[in-house]
Amino acid sequence: MAFYLLMSLIVYCMVMSIRTIFVEEKSEKKFSLENLIWIANLYGTILIGFAMIYLLFELNHYAVILDSGMRVQEDFFKQLETSFYFSAMTMFSVGYGDVSPIGIGRIIAAVEAFVGYTLPAAFLIRTVIEFEQHERKDV
């Protein structure tokens, strides 16, 4: 029961974080420190969320990631480290190949990669739309 509750809470936090892309804000500056912090916070939330999903599966004895072809069966901190590393490599690149997903982890990794690759496009579209709205107000 706790597994499903934690999983739901993690997914809810990530969805609410992504939702901020589509919420219109009243900022005059398009490229600012505030926007940089916002995008870093968004990426951090998604990265941590997916790392927690991998960790929850591993802690419940579902194999979702392999480290150098072996299950991570060491202590909690090694599992946490491997989950964060795999999440970061999945979100920001195609990975190094030392940690790989298996089973349901492949689907989760595919969703994370999709989110990681579409966030910059969504941020760019949001910025362009806000810029165009600002330009129309000035005319």
Q: What is the DSSP letter of 63?
A: -
pLDDT at residue 130 greater than cutoff 80: no
Please state the rounded mean pLDDT for residues 88-99.
Answer: 86
* Contact between residue 113 and residue 90 where contact means Cβ atoms under 8 Å apart: yes
pLDDT in tens, 103-117: 999 999 999 999 998
Which residues are 101's β-sheet partners? 65
Residue 16: its pLDDT value, please?
Answer: 87
pLDDT band for 28, please (50, 70, 90 cuts).
Answer: low
Q: Which token pair is 42? A: 């968004």
Alpha helices in the chain (DSSP H): 2-19, 33-59, 76-92, 104-138
pLDDT in tens, 50-74: 999 999 999 998 999 999 888 887 7
Domains of the chain and any CATH numbers: 2-16+32-138 (1.10.287.70)
Alpha-carbon distance 114 to 108, whole Å?
Answer: 10
* Contact between residue 102 and residue 64 where contact means Cβ atoms under 8 Å apart: yes
